[in-house]
């Protein structure tokens, strides 16, 4: 298997593999770019079928973190790690400790946080072997929990509020119709916050109990997973998986805005142009879902949660406004404008908007 020739290699600075036979750890750390600062990114544990699949995932995710941090105006680079294995079967204290040792070997060039399959408690176990962890509180004890999901939801809400004003001509979210795909850590919290502002909700999840809970707690309308994108709504919020906006979804969509937390929402890049041609405003995923990254960074800086949330909201709105205004003025796709701005920021050609850092 080649690494330098890999289709997702994209000039990564470091890619390291680790095997610890005693604990069964097989892991990869990818550091994409540290021009703006050390790399900060989550650790994902997933039963990849082989190491090629794991490498592909970690490379794509770490590049995404570089762009996310750049446009969130953070002094951070992009990196990510993956552990090959089923978190329900193969996770153990010894394996997490070995992962902590692996992370420590980067001397702070890579800082780990939680991602799917790895929770806050797991990161705390890694922290017994390395100081280079985030997302576990760490602000002098003010935050008991470091889970970034509520902050991610807060950022998505800020993005939806921006789109409601600028794309839908609304002054508030009262009566806004939103379809949420996925009621997990981010999606359910987003649903709660939207409901508190008077929005009407349509929801879908592969776990029926989550849908039932949203129906009874939030007055949401439950729909089948295959039908969520065809609902008569103003906004669609993908908060489950990547690559969900594909040709089929494009034909089904009735919403004028796509604004959700999932990473890599577009099945392929040119879909951004197709959405733009149909007059659908797509808020680029790595911009609108940056609230969690910002929160874990601010935790490490000792910034209060209140201040963190204020910065997340204003930064995400400012960056989205810059992207959408430029895309509209030039008739370009929002995802392409976001990529261009991120690259310019990395090259020092673009001053960031907002005041997050």
CB of 311 to ligand NAD, least distance (A): 16
Write the binding mask 271 to 290 for ligand NAD: x where contact by CB under 6 A, - elsewhere.
------------------x-
Specify the residue, 132 or 154, whose C-beta has the smaller distance to ligand NAD. Answer: 154
Reference 81, options 124, 134, 44; nearest CA is: 44
CB of 185 to ligand NAD, least distance (A): 4
Q: What angle do CA 292, 72, 192 make, to 5 degrees?
A: 35
CA 297 to chain centre: 14
User: Can you tell me which of 160, 240, 338, 357 binds ligand NAD, judged by CB under 6 A?
Assistant: 240
Residue pair 253/234 in contact (Cβ under 8 Å)? The answer is: no
Specify the residue, 98 or 236, whose C-beta has the smaller distance to ligand NAD. Answer: 236
Of 81-89, 157-165, 199-207, 345-353, the segment contacting ligand NAD by CB under 6 A is: 199-207
Q: Write the DSSP assignment of 115-169 as a string of letters.
A: BTTB-HHHHHHHTTT-S-B-SS--STTS-S----HHHHHHHHHHHHHHHHHHTT-
Residues of this chain, 11-30, that bind ligand NAD according to CB under 6 A: none
Residue pair 214/201 in contact (Cβ under 8 Å)? The answer is: yes
User: Can you tell me which of 131, 142, 196, 241 binds ligand NAD, judged by CB under 6 A?
Assistant: 241
Of 18-26, 213-221, 260-268, 327-335, the segment contacting ligand NAD by CB under 6 A is: 260-268
CB of 330 to ligand NAD, least distance (A): 28
Question: What is the distance in angstroms between the CA of the first residue and the CA of the last residue of the chain?
Answer: 39
CB of 206 to ligand NAD, least distance (A): 4
Tell me how many residues contact ligand NAD (CB under 6 A).
25
Of 78-86, 124-132, 204-212, 311-319, the segment contacting ligand NAD by CB under 6 A is: 204-212
Specify the residue, 46 or 102, whose C-beta has the smaller distance to ligand NAD. Answer: 46
CA distance 184 to 123: 20
User: Can you tell me which of 263, 299, 308, 336 binds ligand NAD, judged by CB under 6 A?
Assistant: 263
Residues of this chain, 134-193, that bind ligand NAD according to CB under 6 A: 148-149, 152, 181-187
Q: What angle do CA 301, 347, 16 make, to 5 degrees?
A: 65
Burial 27-55 (b: 16+ CB within 10 A, else e): bbbbbbbbebbbbbbbbbbbebeeeeebb
CB of 123 to ligand NAD, least distance (A): 13
Helices of type H across the chain: 51-71, 87-90, 93-104, 120-126, 149-166, 185-196, 208-218, 247-252, 271-277, 285-288, 291-301, 305-330, 334-346
Partner residues linked to 40 by β-bridges:
78, 111
The yes or no reply on residue 44 touching ligand NAD (CB under 6 A) is: no
User: Can you tell me which of 210, 297, 300, 345 binds ligand NAD, judged by CB under 6 A?
Assistant: 210
Reference 19, options 90, 91, 92, 95; nearest CA is: 95
Count CA atoms within 13 Å of residue 67 on its CB side.
Answer: 24
Q: Which strands, in side-by-side order, build the sheet including 110-114?
A: 14-20, 25-33, 77-84, 39-46, 110-114
Specify the residue, 97 or 162, whose C-beta has the smaller distance to ligand NAD. Answer: 162
Of 192-200, 256-264, 318-326, 348-356, the segment contacting ligand NAD by CB under 6 A is: 256-264
Q: In 3-state terms, what secondary structure has residue 33?
A: strand
Q: Of 21, 68, 80, 349, which is the active-site residue?
A: 80
Is 80 assigned a catalytic role? yes
Tokens of 144: 């008991």
Binding residues for ligand NAD (CB under 6 A): 116, 148-149, 152, 181-187, 204-207, 210, 225, 239-241, 261-263, 289, 292
Positions marked catalytic: 80
């Amino acid at each position: 298997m080649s690494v330098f020739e890999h289709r997702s290699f994209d000039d990564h600075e470091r890619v390291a593999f680790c095997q610890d036979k005693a604990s069964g750890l097989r892991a990869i750390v990818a550091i994409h770019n540290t021009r703006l600062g050390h790399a900060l990114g989550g650790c994902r544990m997933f039963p990849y079928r082989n190491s090629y699949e794991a490498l592909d995932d970690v490379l794509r995710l770490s590049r995404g973190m570089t762009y996310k941090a750049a446009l969130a105006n953070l002094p951070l680079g992009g990196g990510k790690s993956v552990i090959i294995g089923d978190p329900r079967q193969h996770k153990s204290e010894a394996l997490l400790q070995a992962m902590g040792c692996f992370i420590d070997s980067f001397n702070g060039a890579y800082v780990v946080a939680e991602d799917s399959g790895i929770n806050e408690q797991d990161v705390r176990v890694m922290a017994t072997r390395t100081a280079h962890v985030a997302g576990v509180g760490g602000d002098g004890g003010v935050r008991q929990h470091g889970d970034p999901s509520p902050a991610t939801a807060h950022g998505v809400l800020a993005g939806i509020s921006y789109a409601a004003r600028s794309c839908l001509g609304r002054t508030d979210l009262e009566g806004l119709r939103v379809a949420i795909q996925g009621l997990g850590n981010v999606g359910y919290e987003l649903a709660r916050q939207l409901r508190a502002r008077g929005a009407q909700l349509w929801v879908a999840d592969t776990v029926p109990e989550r849908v039932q809970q949203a129906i009874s707690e939030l007055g949401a309308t439950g729909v089948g997973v295959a039908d969520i994108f065809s609902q008569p709504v103003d906004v669609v919020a993908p908060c489950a998986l990547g690559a969900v906006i594909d040709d089929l979804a494009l034909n089904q969509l009735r919403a004028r805005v796509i604004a959700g937390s999932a990473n890599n929402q577009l099945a392929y890049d040119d879909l951004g142009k197709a959405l733009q041609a149909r007059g659908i405003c797509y808020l680029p995923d790595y911009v609108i879902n940056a609230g969690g990254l910002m929160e874990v960074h601010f935790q490490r800086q000792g910034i209060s949660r209140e201040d963190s949330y204020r910065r997340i909201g204003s930064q995400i709105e400012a960056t989205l406004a810059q992207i959408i205004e430029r895309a509209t003025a030039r008739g370009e796709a929002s995802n392409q404008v976001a990529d261009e701005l991120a690259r310019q920021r990395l090259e020092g050609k673009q001053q960031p908007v907002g005041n997050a850092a």
